[in-house]
Structures are given as C-alpha cells and as structure tokens.
C-alpha cells in the first residue's frame, strides 16, 4: 500500500471533533491539538507518522511562521506534505515574544493539517484559538508509538520520532534567536552578519549546530 492510499484511508476515517469553545461567538471549533489527537491512532493503524515543522520568515518588516505538515510512510519512507502561513501579531497583552511566535505557529500548523487531511474550517472564525493555545504543548510533536514488531518498521518509526524531536529542538532555537533579534536591532544586525559568515542566505538555512552557535553569541 502506498502513501497516497494510506492518506486516503486516514482522511476517510478521521473525525476531529470541535472541542474548543469560542466565548465571544458562542460556538465550538477545533484546535491543532484536537486534530492531532484524532489522527494519531489512525496513523498507527496505517503505519504512518505525522511530522510538523516551522520556518520563521521575515517579509516586509513582519515575522511569519511557515508550517509544514508531513505524512511519512514508516514502511517505505514516502512522504506527502502541505504548508500554511500565519503572521505574528505586533503585540498582544499578557504575551512575550516567544508566546506570540508560538501562537502563530499553532495557527499555521492547524491549517497545514487541515490541508493535509482535507478538513474544512472555513466557517470557523478562530477568535479564541490564538488565546487558548498560548501554552503550546510539545506533545504535538510526540510520535511515541511503536508501529510494528518488524525490525525494519521499528527502525523507520524510530527515525520518524527522531526527526520530530530534531525539528522541535530546532524550532525552539529559532524562537530564541528571533526573540532576541526583535528586541534589539543591534543584535539583529550582528545575527545577519554571522549568518552571512556561515555562508547562508537566511536564518532558516542554519543547521541546529549553527543556530546554537548563533544563539550563544547574541
């Protein structure tokens, strides 16, 4: 069975309930975590894994989060992915810079998952979603399930989980560096110089090791 058929099976069986309550409009909606909680058992049954990854983009003076949702076949390692974008708010009462980025990340990831699994949230205003997802949980990255007892399948599953953990560590480093750059234009200039010295065009091109070096230097 190929990755396309596995995705079709998941889409057919997926039922992601709207467990969140909008207190302004008095209606229910689904969050990114609601989708993940519903899709994980289906992925286990299909021997597949969902990976989420973010990129921080700076466009015309504003920070955007580009989220990518990837479905990985743990047997063949085939992949299907979709992307979505969310812009960071300039400021929000009661939130620091990392929380603003985390909220934008959660919003973008939700719509990347919507695209991957054909979930239509066009009627949801999401007015409360940014607020309710301030405490962004790393459990969205968890793929802590064993997909099979076959050695090759266990190995592929471990690789998928390691990739998720690696992405989560990289995203946290990006949040740290971007937060420092936003608060101090001098540090932003210094960071750009270091990025160029590393032979990279933007912060998104840096490896985890390079991000660690940049973070410790700012």
Q: What is the pLDDT of residue 81?
A: 95
pLDDT digits (tens, 9 = 90+) for 96-126: 777 888 888 999 999 999 999 999 765 555 5
Mean pLDDT rounded to a whole number for the chain: 78
For tokens 């299909």, what's the residue?
46
pLDDT digits (tens, 9 = 90+) for 163-205: 544 454 777 777 777 877 777 767 777 887 888 888 887 888 8
DSSP secondary-structure letter at 138?
Answer: G
Residue 168 vs residues 100, 127, 173: alpha-carbon distances, Å: 17, 26, 9
Domain hosting 107: range is 3-217
Would you say 25 and 174 are in contact if contact means Cβ atoms under 8 Å apart? no
- Average pLDDT for 124-151: 45
Q: What is the pTM of this model?
A: 0.57
Q: Specify the length of the chain in residues.
A: 218
Residue 67 vs residues 15, 56, 104: alpha-carbon distances, Å: 22, 9, 9
Q: What is the pLDDT of residue 137?
A: 38
Helix 208-217 to helix 151-183 angle, to the nearest 10 degrees? Answer: 30
pLDDT digits (tens, 9 = 90+) for 30-64: 899 999 999 999 999 999 999 999 999 988 788 89
> Is residue 139 classed exposed, middle or buried when 0-12, 13-18 and 19+ CB atoms within 10 A define those classes?
exposed
User: How many domains in the chain?
Assistant: 1
φ/ψ of 59, rounded to 5, equals -130, 120
- List CB contacts of 93: < 8 A, sequence separation 6 or more: none
Is the predicted pLDDT of residue 143 greater than 70, yes or no?
A: no
Residue 174 vs residues 54, 65, 117: alpha-carbon distances, Å: 9, 11, 27
DSSP secondary-structure letter at 150?
Answer: S
């Amino acid at each position: 069975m190929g990755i396309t058929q596995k995705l079709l099976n998941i889409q057919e069986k997926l039922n992601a309930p709207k467990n969140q309550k909008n207190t302004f409009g008095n209606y229910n909606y689904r969050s990114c975590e609601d989708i993940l909680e519903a899709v994980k058992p289906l992925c286990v049954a299909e021997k597949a894994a969902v990976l989420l990854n973010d990129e921080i983009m700076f466009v015309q003076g504003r920070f955007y989060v580009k989220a990518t949702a990837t479905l990985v076949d743990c047997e063949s390692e085939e992949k299907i992915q979709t992307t979505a974008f969310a812009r960071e708010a300039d400021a929000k009462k009661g939130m620091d810079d990392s929380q603003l980025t985390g909220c934008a990340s959660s919003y973008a990831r939700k719509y990347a998952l919507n695209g991957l699994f054909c979930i239509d949230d066009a009627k949801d205003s999401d007015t409360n979603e940014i607020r309710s997802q301030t405490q962004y949980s790393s459990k969205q990255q968890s793929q802590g399930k064993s997909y099979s007892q076959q050695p090759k399948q266990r190995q592929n599953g471990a690789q998928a989980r390691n990739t998720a953990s690696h992405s989560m560590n990289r995203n946290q480093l990006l949040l740290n560096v971007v937060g420092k750059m936003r608060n101090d234009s001098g540090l932003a200039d210094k960071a750009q110089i270091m990025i160029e010295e590393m032979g990279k065009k933007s912060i998104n091109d840096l490896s985890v090791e390079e991000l660690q070096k940049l973070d410790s230097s700012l």
